[in-house]
Amino acid sequence: LGQKADLRARQILTGCAFATKAQTVKKTLQASTAAAGKESFSAIQEERREQAERSVLISCPPNINQKRFLDYISKHGNIQNHFFYQSYGIYAVVEFSSKDSIAALKANCTIPYVQHEAAVPFKSRLISLKWTGQGSQANASNTLKLQKHLPIAINELTQHLSKQESIDQQLQCLTDLYQLTEENISLRFLVCSLLRDIAAAYFPECIIRPFGSTVNSFGKLGCDLDMFLDLDGISGQNKKKGPGLSLEYHVKQGTSERTVTQSVLSVIGECVDQFGPGCVGVQKILNARCPLVRFAHQPSGFQCDLTANNRVAMKSSELLFVFGKLDVRVRHLVFAIRCWARVHGITSSIPGAWITNFSLTVLVLFFLQRRKQPLLPTLDHLRDLADPSDQCIIEGNDCTIVSDLSKITLQKNTDTLEKLLQEFFEFYGNFAFSSMSINIRKGKEQNKPESSPLHIQNPFETSLNVSKNVNTTQLERFVALCRESAWLLEQKEVLTRSAAQSADVIPPWGLTALLLPSVAQSAGVKGRRKKKHHPASERIKTLLESLKGNSGGAGAKQNAA
Ligand code: CTP
Ligand code: MG
């Protein structure tokens, strides 16, 4: 599984979406040399974007069989890659070799006649394949291989983890099971491309780019799809004009960048709502610090957040990607901490005073920079190694980072994942949050510039606090859980895997033990009604008992959850 995880990680790095087995192996081998692939972050994004432009999303009839599907669709052009998945029905993503094939397919496609209602005649690349007449009798003699787009349930996950031989293997296994698949990433780029077609009615040169966990290499199956509308290609560079006549567009002006962003998003949001096939529940949240349009894209099942003018966030996604690429342990540790935090309600899918995954990731990166032998360099170091061509200033913020990763020399750190996990909890269980700020630019804590309970300096917009939303209660819960987990990882019973009680049931140990319902959580959550309040030490004793396998206790409870 460890090897498989590595292979997947390398696949992500090479950006070989939908690659055939042979291609994958070839690319994987290429990527494993030197700095694990020379392709830069932007080159990978560009490749995926271009693939998405040659792709269509097809809703399939229930009893379709693969051969029949491919025979019919390939009449319109050569199919480079394809896969099927289930959302509200069966869907196929088809990537043609050439964009022209999409025109051929569309030429064969009609606007449906809908009884009692009326259709918006918008010809998108979201297409339905229907049986006509006799065909509908056909049955799916060869069952379709459906790609998985949702993470496995927590009890299934813990079963997989318990079967591993070491804590290091558990972390690798978790990454392998949770991370985005090539197909899922391709579908995300395709959804961006479909939305671009809507925005392009006003801004033909615009691009809609995914950012956040879709591209930063820390995305978990089922995570939201963060996108931003990039209009920079339209403004272009201000060309130097020689003497004589020149032309410029007469444009409407807003009072600030923000008001222009709001009005563009408002109109695009309206179009998505009124014309966007499969887009439902559109909400315009234009007064947020970062104005956005939120909606669900039903055919993909993605929860989407569309922003505009958000190039700094794209740069932070690149930064996370770079850190994730420098050492495989980074991703494993981040996936484990994110999962641990989610299980214990430290993070939540509902916005609020919780720590976000982004903040949590920065906490992990900072911890890795603070090792005796730092596992990661500082952001200032990544900036110092940059070429002149890497220079990037966005709204006055220096967002420069080196793109050629072979220039980065890492220190020799041989810590196991088990040790890193243990020391992460110790580090944050004892961190001086009340006076210090987390700073990955300097790789060192700094005095807090303001009084938020948790202060994590935004790596690029340095006057901002990434975790401004977090309140004291949530920070205290995080610290209490870190302490409890650090303590658990000192226990012999937790560190070693005991024999299986029956064929398949292995008592929780290692990472699995950390995912059990917590003592600190039950004791620390205010306002929640608890049935019983045992003193903490007694509850820890109970938890430990259940880990020893003397009873099904906590493990059984979790499996039932
Ligand atoms: N972001 C930021 N400052 C914040 C929150 C978010 O700069 N306070 C940027 C980060 O680049 C982040 C992106 O916005 O990656 C998307 O935010 P979010 O969806 O909250 O985080 P993800 O990293 O995408 O994680 P998740 O899997 O929870 O969606
Ligand atoms: Mg996100």
User: What ipTM was estimated for this complex?
Assistant: 0.98
150 alpha carbon, distance to own chain's centre: 12
Helix count and strand count (H, E) for the chain = 21, 14
558 alpha carbon, distance to own chain's centre: 26
Q: How far apart (Å, rounded) are the C-alpha atoms in residues 38 and 31? A: 8
Q: How far apart (Å, rounded) are the C-alpha atoms in residues 19 and 15? A: 9
192, two tokens? 């961006």
251, two tokens? 């444009």
Per-residue pLDDT of the chain (561 residues; tens, 9 = 90+): 344 444 444 443 333 333 333 343 333 333 333 334 558 899 999 999 999 999 999 999 988 889 999 999 999 999 999 999 998 899 999 999 999 999 999 999 998 888 888 888 899 999 999 988 765 555 555 678 899 888 999 999 999 999 999 999 999 999 999 999 999 999 999 999 999 999 999 999 999 999 999 999 999 999 999 999 999 877 766 667 788 998 989 999 999 999 999 999 999 999 999 999 999 999 999 999 899 999 999 999 999 999 998 899 999 999 999 999 999 999 999 999 999 999 999 999 898 999 999 999 999 999 999 999 999 999 999 999 999 999 999 989 999 999 999 999 999 999 999 999 999 999 999 999 999 999 999 999 999 999 999 999 999 999 999 999 999 999 999 999 999 999 999 998 888 887 766 666 788 899 999 998 876 655 444 433 344 444 445 555 666 666 555 433 333 334 333
Beta strands in 18-125 (DSSP E): 55-60, 79-87, 89-96
Q: What is the pLDDT of residue 119?
A: 86
Smallest-distance ligand from the CA of 218: 1
Contact status, residue 144 vs residue 84, Cβ threshold 8 Å = yes
Q: What is the pLDDT of residue 505?
A: 74
Burial of 487 (0-12, 13-18, 19+ CB in 10 A): middle
Name every protein residue with a CB atom under 6 angstroms from any ligand 1 atom. Answer: 211-213, 216, 219, 223-224, 226, 313, 316-317, 356-358, 466
Q: How far apart (Å, rounded) are the C-alpha atoms in residues 103 and 77? A: 10
Q: How far is the CA of 272 from the centre of ligand 2 (A)?
A: 20
Q: What is the pLDDT of residue 33?
A: 32
Closest CA to 76 of 38, 25, 137, 127: 127
Contact status, residue 335 vs residue 174, Cβ threshold 8 Å = yes
Amino acid at residue number 89 = G
User: How many other C-beta atoms lie within 10 A of the C-beta of residue 445?
Assistant: 17
Q: How many residues does the chain have?
A: 561
Q: What is the DSSP string of 289-345?
A: SS-EEEEEETTTTEEEEEEES-HHHHHHHHHHHHHHHH-HHHHHHHHHHHHHHHHTT
Helix, strand, or coil (residue 192) = helix
Smallest-distance ligand from the CA of 458: 1
Q: How far apart (Å, rounded) are the C-alpha atoms in residues 220 and 124? A: 28
Q: How far apart (Å, rounded) are the C-alpha atoms in residues 95 and 37? A: 24
β-partners of residue 292 are: 285, 307
Alpha-carbon torsion angle 530, 531, 533, 539, nearest 10 = -100
For CA atoms 444, 450, 454, 456, the dihedral sign is negative
Contact status, residue 77 vs residue 97, Cβ threshold 8 Å = yes
Helix axes 417-429, 167-178, angle to 10 degrees: 90
441, two tokens? 């630019």
Contact status, residue 442 vs residue 380, Cβ threshold 8 Å = yes
Q: Whose CA is nearest to atom 13 of ligand 1?
A: 212
Q: How far apart (Å, rounded) are the C-alpha atoms in residues 269 and 52? A: 22
Q: Whose CA is nearest to atom 2 of ligand 1?
A: 313
Ligand 1 atom having least distance to the Cα of 223: 27
Q: What is the pLDDT of residue 140?
A: 52
Q: Which residue has the tokens 């070693």?
A: 496
User: How many other C-beta atoms lie within 10 A of the C-beta of residue 553?
Assistant: 19
Smallest-distance ligand from the CA of 468: 1
Alpha-carbon torsion angle 226, 317, 99, 72, nearest 10 = -60
Q: How far is the CA of 355 from the centre of ligand 1 (A)?
A: 11
pLDDT of 478-509, one tens digit each? 999 999 999 999 998 888 887 766 666 788 89
Instruction: Judge if pTM exceeds 0.90.
Output: no
> Which letter does DSSP use for residue 500 in this model?
P
